[in-house]
Amino acid sequence: MFPSAVPEVCSYLYETMVQLLNDKAALIRHIIRVLHKYAGLNHTFLQGEVDQAAGAGVLLLLGTRHDKKGLSGEPCLILNKRSRKVRQPGDLCCPGGSVAPRFDPIFARLLSLPITSLGRWKYWPQWKKHRPRAARLLSLFWATGLRESLEEMRLNPFGVQFLGLLPPQPLVMFDRTIYPMAAWIKRQKRFFPNWEVAKIVEIPFTDLLNPANYGRYRLHMGAPGNSKPSGSMRDMPCFRFQSNGNRELLWGATYRITTVFLNYVFDFRPPVLEKLPVTEGVLDKSYLTGQK
């Protein structure tokens, strides 16, 4: 399952990766343990005030890759590709969004029950007892992420396993902070994207852990109303992936969430930016507004 040669990864880490990627139960246990360890170090929800109105709950969805014959057995990351009708069209992203103040707090209380995904998380009793404020915020953003995922891709909110927290990610272009949570999809084989999502993209962990797939996204800033570069540009780290003959590019906040996860779980870091091949792109007005 794992590539025969992965540069820049020592033999011990390589063997650990191979073992985890070939044992789903061991991989899930490892992810839960590691994310809990780092949640304490990152002080998620524990320091300062959290602006719920400017926060977004998103799910880093993990599961088993599907092919035409069904499950392939290969663990993967599952992302949405944003449609041309929304902001940031064409980007790969985690499903999720803003808190619905009337519905999500009620859903959050339901998700705190022992029989639910959050209630089954082995560390949930500790959080409720020793971090009650943080636990309330965690359940709220988890509820938001599940509701939005149901709307965007028809993810079954009762068919996922809560794995843990990842560090918040402030958005550069929008006044918003993303609160990502990792989740494992248990049995769902098909998704049904709504108008916000162009398609679902499944990226195998084996590709994510291959340094050869990383690059430099050279963004040229387009003039308002057109796609011609204005002269300003910026280099961003990115991940490049071939899917069904189409080339996908992962960058921005979702890239940061993904690479933090890979670092925590597999001790993997992408190559230095300056050494990576360049992919050109243009960021114009439609990126911020979407195309109706």
Burial of 152 (0-12, 13-18, 19+ CB in 10 A): buried
* Mean pLDDT across 13-26: 86
Would you state the structure tokens that stand for residue 217, as one six-digit string? 């996204």
Region 206-223 average pLDDT: 90
The shares of helix, strand and coil residues in the chain, as percent rounded to the nearest 5, are 35, 30, 35
- Residue 160, H or E segment: strand 160-165
Average per-residue pLDDT in the chain?
Answer: 87
Cβ contact 11:62 at 8 Å: no
Mean per-residue pLDDT for 1-23? 64
Report which of 123, 134, 119, 144 is spatially closest to residue 34, judged by C-alpha positions.
Answer: 123
**Mutual orientation of helices 252-266 and 24-42 as an angle, nearest 10°?**
110
Tokens representing 200 are 């679902």
Tens digit of each residue's pLDDT (9 = 90 or more) over 51-61: 787 889 999 99
Q: Which of 170, 100, 108 is nearest to 139 (CA)?
A: 108
Side-chain half-sphere exposure of 203, counting CA atoms within 13 A: 27
Quote the pLDDT of residue 53.
79
- As given in the structure block, the two tokens for residue 266 are 């597999």
CA distance 91 to 38: 28
pLDDT at 5 over 50: no
For residue 47, the model assigns a pLDDT of 62
Taking only the tens place, the pLDDT of each residue in 67-76 is 656 556 899 9
Candidates 106, 109, 98; CA nearest to 57 is 98
Is 270 a residue whose pLDDT tops 60? yes
Q: Tell me: pLDDT of 102 over 50.
A: yes
Q: Map tokens 């339901």 to a residue.
A: 110
CA distance 18 to 12: 10
Q: Is residue 119 very low, low, confident or very high in pLDDT (cuts 50, 70, 90)? A: very high
**Domains detected in the chain:** 11-210 (3.90.79.10)
pLDDT number for residue 291: 63
DSSP 203: E
The per-residue pLDDT for 285 is: 76
pLDDT: which is higher, 107 or 221? 107
| pLDDT tens readout for residues 157-185 | 999 999 999 999 988 777 789 999 999 99
Total residue length of the chain: 292
In angstroms, the Cα distances linking 90 to 269, 272, 291 are 25, 26, 11
Per-residue confidence band for 222, with pLDDT thresholds at 50, 70 and 90: low
248, 152, 160: which is closest to 202 by C-alpha? 248
Examine the pLDDT at 29 and tell me if it is beyond 90: yes
Q: How far is 27 from 267, CA to CA, in rounded Å?
A: 14
User: Could you report how far apart the first and last alpha carbons of the chain are, in Å?
Assistant: 42
The percentage of the chain sitting over the pLDDT mark of 70, rounded to a whole number, equals 88
CA 81/CA 18 separation, integer angstroms: 29
Q: What is the mean pLDDT of residues 123-127?
A: 94
Banded pLDDT at 224 (limits 50, 70, 90): very low
